[in-house]
Structure 1
Amino acid sequence: MGAPFFTEKSRPPTETAILSALGGSGGAWRELFDGIRAQHPDVSERWGYYTDGKSWLLKASRKSKTVFWLSVEQGAFRVAFYFPERLAGTLLASDLSERCKAEIRRGASSGRLRRVAVTFGPRRGLRDVMTLIALKKTLR
C-alpha cells in the first residue's frame, strides 16, 4: 500500500481534497459511497486522526460495530475489514471475487482477527466491498 495522503492532524479531509488526491479513482469513490448510502443506510461514517498511523482514517460503523476502515493515498484508497478468524471459511464460500479470496487465503491472522482489504483504483473493488459490508452486518 502507498503512503497515507492525509497526514496533517490540523487538516481533516474534505470532499474536494479527497477527490483531488484520488484523481481518476474519484469515480470509484463516488460510486462506493452512493452504493453504501443506497444499500446500507444504517452505516455511518466518521473521519478521525489516529496517532498510531499518523493519518486520517474513515471509520464506517453500524451502531457500535465497526464495519470497515478506509484510508486515502495518492490516486487510490483502501477499505479494510476485520473478521473473526473462525469466519474465514464463510468468507471463502461467499460471492467475493477470486482476487479477494486469494488475499484471504494468503493473509495472516492477527490473533483472532483476519484482515481483508480492497484497494480501489479507477472502477475496481466495488462488488467485493459491498459483499463484505453485507457479510460484516450479518455474521457474528
Structure 2
Amino acid sequence: MESQLLREQDVYPSESVIKQALGASYAVFAELEKTITSNTFALVPEWNYYKDGKAWLCKVLYKKKTVFWLSVWPGFFKVSFYFTEKNRDVIPSLSVDMDIKEAFMQAKPIGRLIPLTVNVSRKEQISDLLKLVECKKNLK
C-alpha cells in the first residue's frame, strides 16, 4: 500500500522536495498550482505540518474559505474537497469524469462533511479539478 510522503517536520515542501517526491507527475502539480494561483482562480496555497497526521499538507484557500487539501504520495498527489449534505446534489450535475461522481455518491460522511478525493497523476485530470474548484468557490 502506498504511503503519504512529506513526513519530516523539519523539511519544508519546497519545489525541489515536491519534484523529487512526485517524479513525472510534478509537471501536473506545477500546472495545477500555476492555474489556481492565477488571477482567474485567485487561490492561495498554504503548506503546514500537521502533527496529528505527521505530514505536510497544503490547504488551498479562496479568501478565508478552504477550497481543497492537497497531499503528496509516491508519483501522484491527492486533492480532497469536503462538502456538506446540502451540497450533495451539486457534484452529480457537474460535467466531470463519471468515476469522480460515483466516488462522491458512495462516500461516507466524516462527521457532517462528505469527502471527495481525487488521485492526480495526469494533465487530463486538471480540467475536472478546476470544475470542482469553481464549484466549491461558489458554494455558500
Task: Establish whether TM, by shorter chain, passes 0.5.
Answer: yes
Greater mean deviation of Cα atoms: 43-52 or 117-126: 117-126
Q: Distance in 2 between matches of 1:12 and 1:100?
A: 31
**In percent, how many aligned pairs have the same letter?**
34
| 2:76 alignment partner AA | A
1:24 matched to 2:14? The reply is no
* 1:50-96 superposed Cα distances (whole Å, 9 cap, x missing partner): 01110000011112111110000111100100011221111111122
| 2:99 alignment partner AA | R
Q: Distance in 2 between matches of 1:16 and 1:98?
A: 34
TM norm structure 2? 0.93
Structure 1 residues 112-131: aligned runs within 5 Å = 112-131=112-131
* 1:85-139 superposed Cα distances (whole Å, 9 cap, x missing partner): 2211111111221010011111111232110111111324212210111011101
* Poorly superposed stretches of 4+, deviation over 6 Å: none
Matched residue SS, 2:91: helix
Q: Distance in 2 between matches of 1:137 and 1:122?
A: 23
Supply the RMSD in Å over aligned alpha carbons.
1.3
Paired position in structure 1 for 2:41: 40
Matched residue SS, 2:8: coil
In structure 2, relative to structure 1, the CA distance for the partners of 1:21 and 1:124 (3 Å cut) is farther
Q: Distance in 1 between matches of 2:48 and 2:131?
A: 25
Count of aligned residue pairs for this structure pair: 139
Matched residue SS, 1:89: coil
| 1:78 alignment partner AA | K
